[in-house]
Copies of this chain bind each other. A is one copy, B any other.
Amino acid sequence: MKVVEGISALRSQVRAWRAAGERVVLVPTMGNLHAGHLRLVEVGREHGERIVASVFVNPTQFGAGEDFDKYPRTLDADAKGLQGAGADLLFAPPTEAIYPGGVASATIVEPPPELANILCGAFRPGHFRGVATVVAKLFNLVQPDVAVFGEKDFQQLMIIRRLTTDLNFPIDIVGVPTVREADGLAMSSRNGYLSVDERAIAPALHGCLVDAADRLRAGVLIDDVECGTIRAVDGAGLRCEYVSVRRAADLGDPGPSDKNLVILVAARLGAARLIDNLRCNLN
């Protein structure tokens, strides 16, 4: 596996693969990789011959007071993991390569507010603008045929699908189901912020989603499920930010005829902000 920091080296390698008729798959990450990321690489291999994984902790998607500074940088371990999972190239650029005009004032990609200002966007203003902007940059830098994202970040995945369609990127977006620990906790770099006691509490988040899905399938009203799940998350020892039942297709508010739903949750636990979601099909 090649490790590349510079844009011209990245571009010439990708160009050579494309010239040889190979499909290029991008797996964008912020590093500090776990089995969930490595699963993205594995799924990526089913969609093309060459995997470019990127590791870049994107400053513009962190708000003031968020964990940009302490977000774990573990490039050597990440490189080993990616090589083991079958990546062909690790692109680990410096910030100046991704933000050549500086971070402060530059052209940005603004996702539609009805997708970007709800759920996590309401608690992290500007977060999805930063995500959309850096993803557009990575798309232009790598020019992949396929890009792979985890469904754990369900709202992000939806915004990236919209971005890809809206801006006419010729890229297939592949979503990969969340990888979980044995106790149900969704894998996340931010699980590393948890103390031992907090780690024991954290799986309750997934448990609450499973209960919520059961209640929805049993015919309980959405409002009641949402309120009950918020109480359950708080009761388990987390501090719930939101629980919301949405249409899985577009994150809109479900009407009586909508059967294909997703339950999304965000909660704080110690120094960590955890998110999770669960699809719930009422048919």
Binding site for B on A (CB under 8 A): 7, 11, 19, 98-101, 105-114, 132-133, 136-137, 140-141, 143, 162-163, 165-170
Contact of A167 among B105, B136, B166 (CB under 8 A): B136
The interface centre, meaning the residue of A106, A133, A140, A166 with most chain B CB atoms within 10 A of its CB, is A166
Q: Contacts A112-B105, A112-B107 known; A98 to B141 CB distance under 8 Å?
A: no
A7 to B170, CA, bound (A): 10
| In the complex, the 8 A-B pairs of residues with the closest C-beta atoms, listed nearest first | A107-B166, A106-B166, A140-B168, A105-B112, A137-B168, A107-B163, A141-B168, A108-B110
Q: Is the CB of B168 within 8 A of A7?
A: yes
Q: Is the CB of B166 within 8 A of A100?
A: yes
Copies per assembly: 2
Q: Is the CB of B107 within 8 A of A107?
A: no
Contact of A110 among B110, B113, B137, B166 (CB under 8 A): B110
With both beta carbons as reference points, the residue of chain B lying nearest to A108 in the complex is identified as B110
Pull 17 A–B residue pairs with CB atoms less than 8 Å apart, ordered by A: A19-B19, A98-B168, A99-B166, A100-B168, A101-B112, A106-B162, A107-B109, A107-B110, A107-B111, A107-B132, A107-B162, A108-B109, A108-B110, A109-B110, A136-B167, A140-B168, A143-B170
Q: Contacts A109-B109, A110-B108 known; A101 to B140 CB distance under 8 Å?
A: no
The interface centre, meaning the residue of A7, A99, A169 with most chain B CB atoms within 10 A of its CB, is A169
Q: Which residues of B contact A137 (CB under 8 A)?
A: 167-168
Q: Contacts A100-B165, A165-B100 known; A170 to B11 CB distance under 8 Å?
A: yes
With both beta carbons as reference points, the residue of chain B lying nearest to A106 in the complex is identified as B166
Contact of A170 among B105, B140, B167, B169 (CB under 8 A): B140
Distance (whole angstroms) from the CB of A73 to the closest CB of chain B = 22
Q: Is the CB of B101 within 8 A of A165?
A: yes
